[in-house]
Chain A
Amino acid sequence: MSFPLLTATALTPAIGAIATAAVPAARRTAAKWLALLFSLATVGFAAAVLLRFDTGAGADRFQLTESRSWIEDFGVRYELGVDGIGAVMIALTAVLLPFLIGAGWNDADEAEHEAANRRWRPTQGFFALMLMVEAMVIMSFAATDIFLFYIFFEAMLIPMYFLVGGFGDRAGELDEEGQSRQRSYAAVKFLLYNLAGGLIMLAAVIGLYVATADQLGTGTFSLQAILQARASGELDLATGTERWLFLGFFLAFAVKAPLWPLHTWLPNAMGEATAPVAVLITAVVDKVGTFAMLRFCLGLFPEASDWATPVVLVLALISIIYGALLALGQRDMKRLIAYASVSHFGFIVLGVFAMTSQGQSGATLYMINHGIATAALMLVAGFLISRRGSRLIADYGGVQKTAPVLAGTFLIGGLATLSLPGTGPFVSEFLVLVGTFSRYETVGVIACAGIVLAALYVLVLYQRTMTGPVKAGLEKLPDLRVRELAGGAPLIGLLIFLGVYPKPLTDIVNPAVEHTLSDVDQTDPAPHVVPEVEAAE
């Protein structure tokens, strides 16, 4: 048996979490470095996954597969494997984590000061939880057994919940009590929304097992086995059953993604959490939702996906427009970015359900680019907020005069968020729109309004905070420190690189998208338009 690369990739942060948690209270700097070290080691493994991934014609869809028996009685196997989409998602997760750890270097220190006794070790806890989330997210990207996926899909809520509730942003605080209550409210809302969605999915998971047990003799959760059985006609779910199961899965993913009207937990959670945790939610954890729509909803329930497409497209459109409008109206910088994310998730879902190859590879690229762009924007916003101690946009003004580097980084992050050509998000947004337009013209046209609104909320945010006269209290605002710049600059470099040369990513993603489309028995309606995309660059 070859080296279990995927297990190693997921296990590294998990071991790192345990090691970090075990560091004694007095050595918290050591804990930080240890966490960073393990997250970098994970990047190494993730890079190996990408390198080992065979993109050549005729290569297997799922590669680097591992299969071990686990809970036979439930028909559950420890089955891992990645297609191109999974591989790039793992890479995104692994790449983002060191930046988040670097950006959150001192975030838990404040909690440290309040620690009543020396057994409470917030710093160790903060980094251990982050690595734990990373491990679980990687597992859910790599799992090809539906039960295994479900376990990590649900279990990652717990460390995430402690991150949101335990290490809030202390900016903009009016009184100690009120603030901490808001924060635990956000944490509980996050957990309950996702848990409820997940439990409904559990009913569907059980239903799927019963259905496969009925038709195949033995119940199975193996994605590959189910896909094969469906292709060979052995497994043919009744229309009603398939639709109910689809709804069960889709609801859980739509909460996680988050899709209007199930999005309301996101602004709370992102507003109250520290900036790195907010990025972890929107750039990493939420991507599991859209990723799972692509892999599980479409793959397992093609007929039902087709049936639900009109409704899903409408919901996605509402998310795009509604999220953008609310982002415009926010007074709180982090909530603004949260609503912008709602809008962007609308685009991703649109791309997934457009059922065209451009749409879906666009959606996959969108997941990557949105992760990086939001990380850049949110982390810089976090640096700014920690300097001034306020999240309110009205408290800022003229920052570009006192902290030009900070303002510049913020601007590039913002421009990437509004999908400026030359940055990564442009490529993905364009692909999604082309993919949608080629099948659903009206939907594509309406979705374009989202682009205009995005330009509006990003530029208005920049104008209000960075330009104009310097606000009182900001005269001595320090510019980005070396640590902060080291976190921001590579992300921006990556955004520009992916904007100019997305080919390495598309090469990996495209075969997986073809497979997904053939699972849903769909073909592109119009001739391939990829050449035009390259021309547009």
Chain B
Amino acid sequence: MNPGELEAPDIEWVALSPSLIVFGAAVIGVLIEAFAPRRARYPAEVAVSALALAGAFAAVVGLAADGRAGSEAQIAGMGALAVDGPALFLQGIILLVGLVSVFLFAERRLEPAGHGGPVDSFAAQPAAVPGGQAEREAVRAGHTTTEIFPLLLFAVGGMLLFPMANDLLVLFIALEVLSLPLYLLCALARRRRLLSQEAAVKYFLLGAFASAFLLFGITMLYGYAGTLSYAGIADVVAGRPAVMEPGLASTMGNDALLLIGGAMVTMGLLFKVGAVPFHMWTPDVYQGAPTPVTGFMAAATKVAAFGALLRLLYVVLPGMRWDWEPVLWGVAIASMVAGAVIAITQTDVKRLLAYSSIAHAGFILSGALAVSEDGVSSVLFYLAAYSFVTLGAFAVVTLVRDAGGEATHLSKWAGLGRRSPLLAAVFALFLLAFAGIPLTSGFAGKFAVFRAAADAGAMGLVIVGVLASAIAAFFYIRVIVLMFFSEPKADGPSVVIPSPLTMSVVGLAAAVTVVLGVAPQYFLDLANDAGVFVR
């Protein structure tokens, strides 16, 4: 392209409205922090965030109703963003998860109220040294950190872009936009602040590595194909570039650039997904982060990252299928087996859920490897089912508390079923869904991905998958045994009665889990209609 003739960018405002709404609201949130009086910030932030996410969700529904998930799918933003079925479907999930997470973030009945009013689970004054004088004063004054809401919105905005990214540079920017607020949010726990800060530093350092890998991979792919756009790279991989230039002709044959570049970009995404061997951060971060953040991150990041990974594999690198497939087979098997086996030895419920999320990353990957329309829609469905179960499970974790805050050590959960049968039953439902017991959403999802994998001839993955499921079932069941069949301890934790905010989250998650398990047809249809990537 001649640098002299700079085109004015042509932006499809309507097609991009979901992410624009969210980013706009995030900016408004920052302005509220700057200008609104302290007292007004909490209600204003909650209202803005909830309205923005609900509005963006409505916009997604509107776009889908417009047929943009199917026949009207388009490439927007001058080739940088794709508005198609998978993108819209995943955006819908991310927005719902984000909306529900706002409720969890806004919960203020769990911690004992400070002098200045009720407080949430986030640090009173994040800048204060843990345990220091400044912190004691901030806690006594009942300060709260309402910045969490704009941070959440920015993270959601980045996640909305991530599965849409149709250009490697946009992919990278979206990754950073979603990651940076998450690093911050991880560090903001009100209790056990050192653990929380440690988690954030680990997440940040490893995340920075992953970003660096991704960026390095992008430069190599650019060096190989001379373009950053997905379609352009795919054309070059297929050996028929749109414009043949002398420079391109000399790099095109260089498969080393393509292989290393593709591998590095994939690595960056697998890190976000939390697949073995890029999973090391998961348990520490899940454990240290404030539980509402863990729930949000576990659910939404996985959705966004799988969306980006799917688009990369299906749009950019289908021509390289025979190169990446064996490697990702290995990653999927390692994730399923390692996640399930290591989870058995865990004694902390948040770490347990972290390892279980690694195993689930393996299950989802086995569907993604099918490289078929069925594969895409099964992954979409699985993500929808999984994200709500995860969110619900972490919401329950926020409610089981003793004097030291959340009681996450498993020994403290003994006999919970006798003290609070209803809550324990709901948590048991989530665990059974994780385990993939029929009549829960987890089973429908698992069946969908395994069927897609089997259809694509990957019976080996399916067999490893069911064996890993059997191992995983063991530790889910162990928690149920602990809750229902162990004698309650005298000094055990109690279940705090939350505000309607958290209750609605748990209720919604339980309802989705049952509905997707018993009558999944409508949602499977949705996922099927959304199974085609635009090129």
A binding-site residues for B, Cβ under 8 Å: 69-74, 115-117, 119-121, 150-152, 154-155, 157-158, 161-162, 165-166, 176-177, 180, 183-184, 187-188, 191-192, 195-196, 199-200, 202-203, 206-207, 209-210, 213
Report how far A200 CA is from B464 CA in the complex, Å: 10
Q: Which of A177, A199, A209 contacts B467 (CB 8 A)?
A: A199
Alpha-carbon gap, A210 to B474, bound state (A): 28
Q: Are B485 and A165 in contact (CB under 8 A)?
A: yes
Residues of chain B with a CB closer than 8 A to A152's CB: 438
Q: Give the contact stretch, choosing among B9-17, B263-271, B518-526.
A: B518-526
Add 18 more A-B contacts to A119-B420, A203-B466 (CB < 8 A).
A69-B521, A71-B444, A74-B451, A115-B418, A116-B418, A120-B421, A151-B439, A151-B443, A165-B484, A176-B487, A177-B487, A192-B473, A196-B470, A196-B473, A199-B466, A202-B447, A203-B462, A207-B459
CA distance A206 to B444 in the complex (A): 12
Write 19 A-B pairs (CB below 8 A) sorted by A numbering.
Answer: A71-B444, A71-B521, A71-B524, A73-B520, A73-B525, A115-B418, A116-B418, A117-B418, A120-B417, A151-B443, A165-B485, A192-B474, A195-B470, A200-B466, A202-B447, A203-B463, A209-B451, A210-B451, A213-B455
With both chains docked as a complex, state the minimum distance between the C-beta of A507 and any C-beta of chain B, in angstroms. 35
Binding site for A on B (CB under 8 A): 415, 417-422, 432, 435-439, 443-444, 447-448, 450-451, 454-455, 459, 462-463, 465-467, 469-470, 473-474, 477-478, 481, 484-488, 519-521, 524-525, 528
Contact call B525/A188, Cβ cutoff below 8 A? no
Chain B residues in 8 Å Cβ range of A117:
418-419
> A195 contacts which chain B residues (CB < 8 A)?
435, 470, 473, 477
Interface centre among B438, B465, B486 (most CB of A within 10 A): B438
Note all chain B residues with C-beta closer than 8 A to A184.
481, 485-486
Quick check: A158 and B432 within 8 Å, CB to CB? Answer: yes
Would B447 and A73 count as touching, CB distance under 8 A?
Answer: no
Nearest B residue to A119, CB-CB: B421
Which of B447, B451, B477 is close to A188, meaning CB atoms less than 8 Å apart? Answer: B477
List B contacts of A71 (CB < 8 A). 444, 519-521, 524
A358 CB to nearest chain B CB (Å)? 36
Contact A192 B438, beta carbon cutoff 8 Å: no
Q: Which chain A residue lies CB-closest to B523?
A: A73
B451 touches A120 (CB 8 A): no
A195 to B419, CA, bound (A): 28
Interchain CA distance A202-B486 in the complex, whole Å:
31
Q: Is the CB of B466 within 8 A of A202?
A: yes
Once bound together, how far apart are the Cα atoms of A188 and B443, in whole Å? 20
Residue of B nearest to A208 (CB): B454
Least CB distance, B443 to chain A, in whole angstroms: 8
Closest Cβ–Cβ distance, residue B129 to chain A (whole Å): 42
- B448: chain A residues within 8 A (beta carbon): 73-74
A166 touches B484 (CB 8 A): yes
Task: Decide: B478 and A188 in contact? CB cutoff 8 A.
Answer: yes
Complex partner residue of B454 from A74, A157, A206, CB under 8 angstroms? A206
Give the residue name and chain of the A residue nearest to B488 (CB): A116
Structural contact, A158 and B450, CB atoms closer than 8 A: no
Residue of B nearest to A70 (CB): B521
Taking the closest CB of chain B, its distance from the CB of A237, in whole angstroms, is: 14
Complex CA distance for A117 and B482, rounded to whole angstroms: 18
Contacts of B466 in A (CB 8 A): 199-200, 202-203
| Nearest CB in chain A to that of B377: its residue | A73
Chain B residues with CB under 8 A of A115: 418
Q: From the candidates B439, B447, B469, B528, name the one contacting A206 in the complex (CB within 8 A).
A: B447
Q: Are B447 and A207 in contact (CB under 8 A)?
A: no
CA distance A203 to B460 in the complex (A): 10
Complex-state Cα separation, A473 to B455, whole angstroms? 66
- Determine if A165 and B470 form an interchain contact, defined as CB atoms under 8 angstroms apart: no
| C-alpha spacing A158/B480, complex, angstroms | 11
Q: Which residues of B contact A180 (CB under 8 A)?
A: 485-487
Find the B residue at minimum CB distance from A200: B466
**Could you say which residues of chain A place their CB within 8 Å of the CB of B519?**
70-71
CB neighbours of B435 from chain A (8 A): 195
- Closest residue on chain B to residue A121 by CB atoms: B421
Residue of A nearest to B457 (CB): A210
The reply to whether B462 and A206 form a contact with Cβ atoms under 8 Å apart is: yes
Indicate if the CB atoms of A162 and B455 lie closer than 8 Å: no
Please indicate the chain B residues that have their CB under 8 angstroms from the CB of A157 in the complex: 437
Using Cβ atoms and an 8 Å threshold, which residues of chain B touch A161? 477
A200 to B484, CA, bound (A): 27
Residues of chain B within 8 A (CB-CB) of A120 are 417-419, 421
B432: nearest chain-A partner, CB-CB = A158
Residues of A within 8 A of B465 (CB): 203
Within the complex, the shortest CB–CB distance from B382 to chain A, in Å, comes to 13
Partner of B481, one of A155, A187, A202, A213: A187
Quick one: which of A73, A119, A183 has the most chain B CB within 10 A? A73
Could you say which residues of chain B place their CB within 8 Å of the CB of A213? 455
Report how far A70 CA is from B447 CA in the complex, Å. Answer: 15
B454 to chain A minimum Cβ distance, whole angstroms, is 5
Inter-chain CA distance A199–B443, complex, in Å, is: 11
Q: Which of A69, A70, A195 has the most CB of B within 10 A?
A: A195
Knowing A120-B421, A180-B487, A199-B469 are in contact, say whether A188-B481 is a contact too (CB < 8 A).
Answer: yes
* CA A162 to CA B486, docked complex, whole Å: 13
Nearest CB in chain B: distance from A132 CB, A? 11
Distance in Å from the Cβ of B79 to the closest Cβ of chain A?
A: 33
A203 to B465, CA, bound (A): 9
Please give, as numbers and ranges, the residues of chain A lying within 8 Å of B474 by CB-CB distance.
188, 192
Chain B nearest Cβ from A390, distance in angstroms: 22
A176→B450 CA distance, assembly (Å) = 44
Q: For the complex, what is the distance from the CA of A298 to the CA of B432, rounded to whole Å?
A: 31
Q: Which residue of A lies closest to B471 (CB)?
A: A196
Q: Is there an interface contact between A155 and B451, defined as CB atoms closer than 8 Å? A: no
- Beta-carbon contact of B470 and A150 below 8 Å: no
Q: How far is the CA of A73 from the CA of B519 in the complex (A)?
A: 11
- Closest Cβ neighbor of B524 among chain A residues: A73
Nearest CB to that of B484 among chain A residues?
A166
Could you tell me the distance between the alpha carbons of A82 and B455 in the complex, rounded to whole angstroms? 31
CB distance from B436 to the nearest CB of A (A): 8
Q: How near does chain B come to A250, taking the closest CB pair, in angstroms? A: 16
Q: How far is the CB of A425 from chain B (nearest CB, A)?
A: 34
A416 CA to B299 CA, complexed, in Å: 57
- Taking the nearest CB of chain B, how far is it from the CB of A352, in angstroms? 25
Give chain B residues whose Cβ lies under 8 Å from the Cβ of A177: 487
Beta-carbon contact of B455 and A183 below 8 Å: no
Assembled-state Cα–Cα distance A209/B455 (Å):
9
Residue of B nearest to A177 (CB): B487
Residue of A nearest to B527 (CB): A73
Q: Who on chain B is nearest to A185 by CB?
A: B481
Give A6 to B77 CA distance when docked, in angstroms.
57
Give the residue name and chain of the A residue nearest to B473 (CB). A195
Minimum CB–CB distance for A244 against chain B, Å = 9
Q: Which residues of B contact A166 (CB under 8 A)?
A: 484-485
Q: Which residue of B422, B470, B481, B521 is within 8 Å of A119 (Cβ)?
A: B422
B residues within 8 A CB of A158?
432, 437
Q: Which single residue of chain A is at the shortest CB-CB distance from B525?
A: A73
Contact of A162 among B462, B484, B520, B525 (CB under 8 A): B484
From residue B316, how far is it (CB to closest CB) to chain A in Å? Answer: 28
Contacts of B469 in A (CB 8 A): 199
Known: A73-B524, A192-B470, A203-B462. A187 touches B437 (CB 8 A): no
Bound form: Cα–Cα A440–B520 in Å? 48
Closest to A162 in B: B484
- Bound Cα distance A488, B465 (Å): 47
A127 CA / B528 CA spacing, docked (Å): 41
Question: A375–B525 Cα gap in the complex (Å)?
Answer: 47
Bound Cα distance from A183 to B485, whole angstroms = 9
> A residues within 8 A CB of B521?
69-73
CB neighbours (8 Å) of B477 from chain A are 161, 188, 191-192, 195
Query: 3 closest Cβ contacts across the A-B interface?
Result: A151-B438, A73-B524, A184-B485
Residues of A within 8 A of B467 (CB): 199-200
The interface centre, meaning the residue of A116, A177, A202 with most chain B CB atoms within 10 A of its CB, is: A202
B478 CB, min distance to chain A CBs, angstroms = 7
